[in-house]
């Protein structure tokens, strides 16, 4: 067992050696601030420079407290380490240095090349403790890293997590900080890394009081889809989020973070400073990975301290080819889809400065980056849950074509991400759910339904009324994966496929990934391409992929290589690739 020293940041309570606690809050727009100790006393705080208030008070771990702003408004600590209930409840002083004894203190993570991500929603698993019982199965399947959807304290007890308002506090409905640490520790004992999805581009609509006492936390001249942008020009604001990153990595020992929608963070210098601070703060030899979601396809960030980016381009073109869907953003990928498929497999991003359907230039050149700079997925919370009825891909695509795409997902040199239940062909939907109340619940419900008004199948109001209410308990319950069916007919076959492909990946691909690079990708026929990658040991990986309905011609010149996997039996001549088929060959270096 190992006790570690707590990370001390600029924001939030600090336990002092004499048993007292230093409370502090940045409230530049408050005239006065007091500390309310629940069940004890109210103490005026000292006004310091630059809008800070602080007090050293004779209370320790377990203390419940709030801040009183201008003698009228009680608020939780915006950097609360835990809440005694929901976002409006009192904050709780937590001793992060001694509240958990680590069983795997020498864990240093795993190299990025070994990563196979598995995205999970903690609430649907029943909380931190209940989630632990699924970890051994994931490790046995071949997963090497779980990725938790956001767990920062949000209003209510059912939410995707992107409505969080207290970024430092693990969601109380999921469990305590100690239980979160136990989950991470258990994962490490099984050889699993643990990633966390964090949201630094906005706060949720309920429970964020910052605008009342720190108005300049936000930029009123800069709008995001969620309202005023966050003002990352201010030192206090930068430290608020950078300290949060360091808390998750140092106190909780997460192995990596996924940064949500950083295209809504226009201040690039904040992102590069965050990466610099992280790499300067973790202990030598430890593997920590920083992954972006970025619709702008800023490839240059991937050489500025960030490990990889979610490759929405890759998902979108594969989805368009698998389903023939062309509405919304799929319109950018449905047209000339085969050329775009070849570009994605040959260079990473599809949009590298080209105009999208709105005539807007998007992206930066990416072909010089290693393939491991891209996280590839066929499904995730966004792509499944942002459908009106949350259908899984297994319900939308031809089974043979989906098996071929799955081979690309798990055997290409890009880093794969699976979405919970995908590996056994789960058919339960993943729906959008919240637990708001009153007018906000009404607004979220109607806003959700109106999002689909531009789609032909939802043009009339009566059809939109069938879209599940995000606030209904049934919407949440219907989204739970049914773990009991994994070995039943119709599911066991998918599970066996994922297990086989991950075994091949770890045996043949992973040992050769460091130093891999893109080589070439060319169109063979409609929905069919041939792609090749140079691997780090000098060998080459070749993909023959046909997602179309007609056989595709193959180059006449024979290419030597060991067949790693074929997604279905070949039914055509050797110089043709059958419809809806993928083959991967390894040409080893001599």
Residues marked as catalytic: 260, 293
Beta-sheet pairing, 193-198 with 415-419: unpaired
337-347 and 312-323 are packed helices; what angle lies between their axes, rounded to 10 degrees? 150
Residue 310 to residue 290: CA distance in whole angstroms = 11
Cα–Cα dist 230/237, whole Å: 8
Hey, is 103 helix, strand or coil? coil
Q: Which residues contact 61 (CB under 8 A, 6 or more apart)?
A: 15, 93, 94, 95, 99
Q: Are strands 289-292 and 64-69 parallel, antiparallel or unpaired?
A: unpaired
What is the SS3 assignment for 315?
A: helix
Q: Which of 172, 208, 203, 209 is nearest to 64 (CA)?
A: 172
| Closest CA relative to residue 201, chosen from 250, 148, 152 | 152
CA 40 to chain CA centroid, nearest Å: 41
Neighbours of 30 (CB within 10 A): 21
- The three-state secondary structure class of 386 is coil
Q: Which of 86, 25, 13, 9 is nearest to 214 (CA)?
A: 25
Q: Where is 548: in which H helix or E strand?
A: none
State the SS3 of 215-263.
HHHEEEEEEECCEEEECCCCHHHHHHHHHHHHHHHHHCCCCEEEECCHH
- In Å, how far are 286, 376, 520 from 508, measured between CA atoms? 25, 19, 20
Cα 176 off chain centre by: 22
Rg (CA), the chain: 25
Dist. CA 485–CA 487, nearest whole Å: 6
Are 581 and 571 in contact by the 8 Å Cβ rule? The answer is no
Question: Residue 468 in contact with residue 385, Cβ under 8 Å?
Answer: no
Q: How many Cβ atoms from other residues are within 10 Å of residue 108's Cβ?
A: 13
Dist. CA 532–CA 566, nearest whole Å: 16
> Do β-strands 552-553 and 42-44 pair in parallel, antiparallel, or remain unpaired?
unpaired
């Amino acid at each position: 067992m190992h006790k570690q020293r707590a990370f001390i940041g600029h924001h939030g309570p600090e336990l002092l050696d004499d048993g007292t606690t230093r409370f502090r809050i940045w409230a530049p727009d408050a005239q006065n601030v007091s500390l309310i100790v629940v069940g004890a006393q109210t103490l005026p705080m000292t006004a310091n420079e630059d809008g800070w208030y602080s007090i050293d008070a004779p209370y320790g771990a377990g203390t419940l407290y709030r801040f009183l702003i201008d003698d009228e408004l009680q608020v939780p600590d915006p950097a609360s380490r835990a809440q005694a209930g929901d976002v409006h409840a009192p904050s709780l002083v937590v001793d992060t240095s001694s509240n958990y004894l680590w069983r795997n203190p020498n864990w240093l993570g795993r190299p990025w090349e070994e990563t196979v991500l598995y995205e999970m929603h903690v609430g649907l698993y029943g909380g931190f403790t209940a989630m632990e019982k699924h970890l051994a199965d994931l490790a046995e399947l071949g997963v090497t890293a779980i990725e938790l959807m956001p767990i920062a304290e949000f209003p209510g007890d059912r939410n995707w997590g992107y409505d969080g308002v207290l970024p430092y506090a693990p969601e109380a409905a999921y469990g305590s900080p100690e239980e979160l640490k136990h989950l991470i520790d258990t994962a490490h004992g099984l050889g699993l890394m643990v990633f966390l999805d964090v949201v630094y581009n906005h706060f949720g609509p309920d429970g964020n009081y910052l605008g009342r006492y720190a108005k300049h936390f936000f930029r009123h001249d800069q709008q995001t889809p969620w309202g005023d942008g966050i003002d990352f020009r201010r030192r206090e604001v930068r430290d608020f989020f950078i300290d949060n990153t360091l808390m998750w990595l140092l106190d909780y020992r997460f192995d990596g973070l996924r940064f949500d929608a950083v295209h809504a963070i226009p201040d690039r210098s904040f992102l590069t400073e965050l990466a610099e601070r992280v790499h300067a703060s973790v202990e030598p030899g430890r593997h920590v990975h920083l992954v972006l979601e970025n619709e702008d396809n800023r490839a240059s960030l991937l050489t500025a301290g960030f490990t990889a980016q979610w490759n929405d381009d890759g998902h979108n073109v594969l989805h368009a080819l698998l389903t023939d869907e062309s509405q919304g953003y799929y319109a950018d990928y449905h047209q000339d889809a085969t050329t775009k498929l070849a570009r994605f497999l040959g260079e990473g991003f599809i949009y590298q400065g080209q105009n999208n359907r709105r005539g807007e230039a998007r992206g930066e050149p990416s072909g010089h980056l290693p393939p491991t700079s891209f996280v590839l997925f066929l499904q995730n919370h966004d792509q499944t849950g942002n459908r009106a009825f949350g259908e899984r891909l297994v319900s939308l695509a031809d089974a043979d074509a989906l098996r071929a795409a799955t081979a690309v997902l798990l055997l290409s040199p890009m880093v794969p991400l699976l979405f919970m239940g995908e590996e056994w062909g789960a058919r339960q939907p993943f729906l959008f759910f919240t637990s708001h109340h009153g007018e906000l619940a009404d607004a979220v419900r109607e806003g959700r339904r109106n999002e689909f008004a531009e789609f032909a199948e939802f043009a009339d109001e009566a059809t939109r009324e069938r879209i599940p209410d995000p606030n209904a308990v049934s919407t949440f319950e219907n989204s739970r994966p049914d773990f009991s069916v994994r070995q039943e007919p119709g599911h066991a076959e998918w599970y066996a496929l994922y297990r086989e492909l991950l075994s091949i990946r770890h045996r043949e691909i992973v040992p050769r990934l460091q130093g891999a690079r893109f080589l070439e990708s060319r169109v063979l026929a409609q929905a069919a391409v041939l792609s090749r990658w140079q691997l780090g040991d000098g060998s080459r990986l070749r993909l023959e992929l046909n997602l179309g309905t007609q056989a595709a011609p193959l180059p006449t010149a024979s290419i030597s290589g060991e067949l790693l996997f074929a997604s279905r039996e070949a039914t055509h001549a050797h110089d043709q690739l059958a419809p809806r088929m993928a083959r991967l060959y390894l040409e080893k270096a001599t």
